[in-house]
Every structure is written in C-alpha cells, then in structure tokens.
C-alpha cells in the first residue's frame, strides 16, 4: 500500500488507524500499542473503553500504589471514555477522581469491588459523580446501607453480584434508579422482603442464596422476562411476562401469586420442594404457555417431603392447549402415571400443538402406567416430532429396572422415527 509517498502502516490514513485502535480496550494491549510510535500513541485519547483485568498489574505495583497511579493516568489520557471496567485491585479513595474526570462522557461502569483495598461505609456514594451512567455493574459490594448516589435518571441497567443485601437498602437503591429496564442481583445474600417497583423494567434476574425465607414483591407493568431463585413467597403485580423462571435449590417455595399470564411463552419451575398449591396456581395462570419445564422433586406444606398428587393427563393438556415443548422430570412424570391419570382418555382427545417432549425417568415403579402414559403422549400428540426419554439415576440392582428398561427399548423401537433414549 502506498499513500502520499508512504508505504506499509504509515500509508494508512489517520482515521482508519483510529478506528482500528478503538477496537482495543484491554489496557495491556493499549499500553503496548502506545509504545509503537507517536502516531499510535496520539490515538489513545479517542479510545471509547478501558478494561483493567485482574492481572493488569503485579502485586508489588498494587501494594505501593503504582497501580492506582497508572489507572489515573490512563483514565485522564482518554478524553472521550464511555466505558470503564476495573477488575484489578485498586484504592477506593482514588475512584472519585477517576469518575469525576470522565463524568461527562462515561456511560458504562463495571467494578470488582471485592478487589478494592479500602472498602468502608459509603464506598458506593461516589458513583453518583458519574450522573450520565447508562449501565452499572458491581461485584462484591455491600448493600446493607442505601448508597447516597442521588438520582440516576439515565441508568438503564443495574447488575449487582455477590452482595450481602438489606431489604431497605435495596429498596432505596432501586428507587434512586427509576428508569431501569434491566435489573440483575446475582448470588446475593438477603432475608426479609425484596420490593421492586419499576415502571420501565423489562428484564429482571434475582438470585438469592441460602435456605432462608425471603419474599419478593415485584411491580413492573412492562416486565417481559423474569428469572428468580431462592424466594419462598413471590408476588407479581402488573406485568407483561413472556418468560418466567422460578427456582429454589434449597428450602421450600410456599406461595406464588403471578396473576394472569396471557402472553407467557416460556415457563420453568424448578426446586427440591414446592407447595402443591403454588404449583397449581402458576400452572392455572399459565394456560397459554408454549414451552414448559417442570423439574420439581417433591411437594408438601411442611418440612416432610411428599410425592406429587395424581395429575389427570387429559385435564392437564386441555388446560394448556398451546403447549409445544414440554420438559418433565421425575416426580411430575410420575404424577401423570398414576392409576387414574388416564381415566378420561377417549378417541376424541388430542394434544393439538405438542411437538417436543423431554421426559426424565428415575424409577421403575409403576412401570405399566408409565409405559401407558408414554404411548398416550405419542398416540394423541398429532404434531409430535421428537420424544426424548432420559434415564437418570435409576438403580439397576433390581431386575424390575432391567425389565422396565427393556420395555422402554421396545417402545422406542416401535416409534423409532420419533422416540430416542438418552
């Protein structure tokens, strides 16, 4: 390449060089390129993003404050900084200077606060200096007291990871961000009630650790996607949900009040133990669901684990006529395979929309009823394309398991175009 008598990289126009180097964000790459020549170094002020990884500086540099100095110099040198991500150890005392220097242009901020050396009460207050932020992600913070960062009117995304929470602090922090469309609180430790009232919220992920009793009260008229984990009581008011996932890996889900779910496409219910009234309530409200995942092991109102009650197969599919994909695991499948589950079957019954079924079988008990249920699903699902039978954790020390597996294999052979075994 030749341009005005120059060859090689020297022939590339300044605008093209700036565009190429603007793709860099890792500060190690930025520093290496800045050392190549003055022309490349002059492009640093136009970088849109800076990313300081965990290994950006060695331990000795961080200990003597050289890391903070380097971060400050790089932030000061980028005049139009839109995104700042700091994963490496840094001093909280210097953060206000960095945010204040680029408050006019900064739109995205992500901080690993667990790497900060001097966290104290009020350590989040300085984030209010970047009043134009649109996305904020915080790792390892403490939200036991409400941050005094003022109103964050432009903030659209808030993500908090690995934080101890206090319900009043969460409520105040969310109230300071009234225009959020995306809210995530992942791997957080909380008890009490988490109350969320956001009229522009569209997507929400809440993951609470531990087996404690924590409740959720959520009001969000525009909410389309909700994933919650760890709550015992859940109340949803005024939403437009298309995707809903509720899980609790320890403890019990006692009550779920969703209201009607006319637009719901995807529903996932998971956990060790649910109150059957909570399961029934959600399924009744989700009559229009198209993709249903049921992975609940036990029912019961008290600590004693109980099996599911019988589920009438005909009634279930009549109540969910638009169901296209059904993932059913263990206990729920067993509930559909009880003595009276198929009592209402007749020649007029059809499952109109079901196309894919994934069934997890864990026990050879009630083998005949289970085979009858499998045969009914294939027979009456007029649009069925695929049935996957997953044999999981079944004890093979009893000959009943061998006999059952042999019958499953025969069933698969008779319906080889649709059925397969994993």
pLDDT means over runs of 10, the chain (422 residues): 53 69 74 72 80 81 74 89 91 90 94 66 81 94 85 95 88 93 93 91 92 87 96 92 94 92 95 92 95 91 81 91 93 81 81 95 84 91 95 66 86 93 89
Beta bridge partners of 386: 356
Encoding tokens for residue 298?
Answer: 């036990």
Q: Residue 334 has what pLDDT? A: 85
DSSP class of 46 = G
Q: Are 193 and 212 in contact (CB under 8 A)?
A: no
Integer Cα distance of 308 and 198 in angstroms: 36
pLDDT in the model for residue 51: 92
Instruction: Say if CB 354 and CB 384 are below 8 A apart.
Output: yes
**SS3 state of residue 407:** helix
Q: Tell me if residue 141 falls in helix, strand or coil.
A: coil
In angstroms, the CA 18 to CA 275 distance is 60
pTM across the whole model: 0.88
Cα gap 106→108, rounded to integer Å = 6
């Amino acid at each position: 390449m030749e341009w005005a008598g120059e060859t090689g990289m020297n022939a590339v126009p300044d605008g093209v060089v700036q565009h190429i180097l603007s793709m860099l964000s890792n500060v190690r790459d930025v520093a290496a390129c800045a050392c190549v020549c003055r022309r490349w170094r002059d492009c640093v002020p136009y970088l849109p993003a800076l990313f300081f990884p965990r290994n950006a500086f060695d331990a000795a540099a961080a200990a003597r404050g050289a890391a903070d100095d380097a971060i400050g110099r790089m932030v000061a040198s980028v005049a139009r900084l839109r995104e700042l991500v700091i994963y490496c150890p840094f001093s909280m005392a210097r953060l206000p200077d960095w945010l204040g220097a680029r408050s006019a242009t900064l739109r995205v901020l992500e901080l690993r606060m667990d790497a900060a050396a001097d966290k104290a009460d009020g350590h989040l207050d300085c984030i209010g200096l970047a009043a134009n932020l649109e996305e904020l992600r915080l790792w390892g913070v403490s939200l036991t007291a409400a941050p005094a960062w003022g109103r964050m009117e432009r903030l659209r995304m808030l993500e908090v990871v690995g934080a101890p929470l206090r319900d009043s602090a969460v409520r105040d922090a969310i109230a300071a961000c009234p225009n959020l469309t995306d809210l995530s609180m992942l791997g957080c430790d909380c008890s009490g009630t988490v109350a969320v009232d956001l009229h522009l919220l569209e997507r929400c992920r809440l993951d609470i650790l531990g087996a404690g009793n924590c409740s959720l009260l959520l009001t969000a008229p525009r909410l389309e996607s909700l994933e919650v984990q760890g709550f015992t009581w859940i109340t949803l008011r005024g939403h437009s949900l298309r995707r809903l996932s509720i899980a609790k890996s320890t403890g019990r889900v006692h009550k779920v009040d969703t209201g009607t779910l006319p637009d719901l496409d995807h529903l996932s219910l998971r956990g060790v133990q649910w109150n059957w009234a909570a399961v029934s309530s959600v399924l009744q409200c989700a009559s229009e669901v198209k993709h249903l995942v049921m992975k609940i092991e036990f029912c019961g109102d008290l600590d004693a684990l109980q099996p599911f009650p019988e589920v009438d197969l005909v009634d279930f599919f009549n109540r969910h006529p638009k169901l296209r994909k059904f993932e059913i695991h263990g206990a729920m499948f067993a509930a559909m395979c009880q003595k009276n589950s198929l009592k209402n079957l007749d020649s007029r019954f059809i499952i109109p929309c079901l196309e894919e079924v994934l069934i997890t079988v864990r026990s050879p008990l009630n083998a005949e009823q289970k085979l009858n249920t499998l045969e009914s699903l294939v027979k009456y699902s007029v649009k069925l394309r695929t049935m996957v039978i997953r044999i999981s954790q079944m004890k093979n020390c009893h000959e009943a398991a061998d006999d059952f597996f042999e019958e499953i294999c025969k069933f698969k052979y008779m319906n080889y175009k649709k059925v397969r075994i994993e």
